[in-house]
Chains A and B, each alone.
Chain A
Amino acid sequence: MAIDKILVLVELTESGPTATSLELLTAARGLATTVEAASWGPGVAAAAGTIGEYGATTLYDIGDLGGALPGVPVAGALVSVLSTSGASALLIPTSYDGRDIAGRLSAKLNVPVLTNVTGLNNDDGLSTEHPIFGGTQIVHAKFTGTGVGIYVIRAKSFTAEPAGGAAAAVVAAAAPAAGNTGTATIVARHVEERSGPKLDEAAVVVSGGRGLGSANNYAWINDLAKLLNGAAGASRAIVDAGWVPYSHQVGQTGKTVKPTVYLACGISGATQHLVGMKGSKNIIAINKDQEAPIFSVADLGIVGDVNKVVPALIEALKSRG
């Protein structure tokens, strides 16, 4: 039996719904008879077309939050949206704000959150998949509480596909007054410069780890990424060490990437790194340690010194023009 109704929380950027939001709408469409969406920010009404195209019939517009951090006001609004909508499940993208909203809502409704979901099935009710131990095993779980099931779902768990539906009907659903919990305010936003394709959208991702030896050598990763028209990624070790900004991090606490080729240079392949890149179509690894776990997922593994192989690769690609 199909699930009656699923509500999807859609996150917006200036260019419309995030990729993960569209993936969740697509997944919800395959599971439920009716899909509805909720979103916030100044651009909700403008996104009704896209959101409808991906399958939602109704779009609850929580509105512009000004400078408030979204967690509290969006969770507050969702409490009434859920009771109006009657949806039995709420899908939330894994993101900074998504996790805040899920946590706030969970405590407000006194229901648990199922997080790090990478698959959804209708198995006599909604059932979830969660990778554990670096993605070597998959836990299947079910929400058994009363009320709405809250699911926080990782990026790239599904492939987004439009269904050609009409624009979603926009329904106002303003956030209630937040009281003391809602006093955290964004006073300034800083956007880091980026050139080339986005890390989580690029067909080629070249990542560097501690094996590069020094922050300066990360220039090789940028060069390779440029030559292959790809994006530059990193292990957490070198993000923590301050070699590159956090936005480059691939893994459990960073981005999930699924490029055509993932090239790992001097990365050991810790389980928390593997969960973020194991889904890549092809994996190439360069590591001087034959026993490095990264080789267990590599299609092509070069046991060698990044100081030799990487500059040689840059030269070889450059000479091809």
Chain B
Amino acid sequence: MLAMNVVVCVKQIPDPAAPQSLEASTNTLNRTGKLIMDDSDAYGVEMALQLVDKAGGGEVTLVSMAANGEVSGLRTALAMGAAKAILVSDDALKGSDALGTAKVLAAAIKRTQFDLILAATESSDGYTGTTPVQLAELLDLPSITFAKSVTIDGSTVKVDRQTEAGYDEVTSPLPAVVTVTAGVVEPRYPSFKGIMAAKSKPVDQVTVADLGLSPSDIGAAGSGQTITKVVDAEARASGEIVVDEGDGAQRIVTFLEGLKLI
């Protein structure tokens, strides 16, 4: 292929390193603060940049959905080298589940040209891990999940897909949806030049109405599930924590003996 256009689904999430909380009224994850690019998506962005590079032409387009119009996570991916982004932003998107998200992403992706769609196997905050496959079904495309390597051969994508036992070599005609695992490639750090360039790269902001979606398909109303309660899990009884004074190994041996394991 002489040019490869790759769409990467990018999620902007609350910083996982910061304390997380639930919204009191809905018991859904509090996403009101600053959002950053999900680390899991850096692999897809990097993979896409490398595939475009290898093809010798084409570009990487980011597609994202965020109720609050957040763009800082997208700027990170643009700084890595993506050409442009489509951001679906609308109050009506709050509380969308995986299928609702897939409907939104599918409608947004239809506005662009692509040979391949990449996504992470799952997001770090919601980790349902079904959105990319739901997206593939809605776009009538084949999908290959859990890729640990991705190569393009003409109009075919070749993937090593993780399995319980090892991995499978799987092929599919393009266009297709592929989800990549962490470690598939080493994501680059944005360069200073990249960060400066990202500031003027186009981010096309669209609303649910622009995409022609019905409000009943998305948001909390379309999610078809409700949280009935949130309770504290049973805590483990606190154990014995000791500083090793050269006796650490012996303490473990005694503990294992107590369980009759040795």
Contacts and interface: CB of A to CB of B under 8 A. Distances in A.
B229 A181 contact: no
Interface string B165-205: 11111111100100001110000000000000000000000
A320 B254 CA distance: 12
Contact of A96 (B131, B145, B231, B262): B145
Contacts of B140: 179-181
Contacts of B25: none
A175 to B, nearest CB: 15
Interface residues of A, number: 96
B230 A139 contact: yes
Given A106-B134, A108-B137, A144 B226 contact: yes
Contacts of B23: none
B256 interface: yes
Contact of B256 (A136, A228, A236): A228
Contacts of B131: 103
Interface in B122-166: 122, 127-134, 136-138, 140-146, 148, 161-166
Contacts of B181: 246, 253
A163 interface: no
Contact of B130 (A102, A185, A320): A102
B233 A137 contact: yes
Interface residues of B, number: 78
Contacts of A313: 248-249, 252-253
A253 B122 contact: yes
A204 B261 CA distance: 9
Nearest to B29: A132
Contact of A100 (B143, B168, B226, B236): B143
A158 interface: no
Interface stretch (A26-34, A52-60, A301-309): A301-309
A103 B255 CA distance: 44
A188 B142 contact: no
A113 B167 contact: no
B99 interface: yes
A300 B239 contact: yes
Interface string A52-70: 0000000000000000010
Most chain A CB atoms below 10 A, which of B138, B141, B237, B251: B251
A139 B168 CA distance: 35
Interface of B: 20, 22, 27, 97-99, 102, 121-122, 127-134, 136-138, 140-146, 148, 161-173, 176, 181-183, 223-233, 235-244, 246, 248-253, 255-256, 259, 261-262
Given A309-B249, A313-B249, 12 more contacts: A71-B143, A75-B137, A140-B230, A180-B140, A181-B137, A181-B140, A184-B144, A286-B248, A303-B241, A303-B243, A304-B243, A308-B244
8 contacts: A102-B130, A184-B143, A185-B171, A228-B262, A299-B237, A301-B241, A309-B252, A312-B248
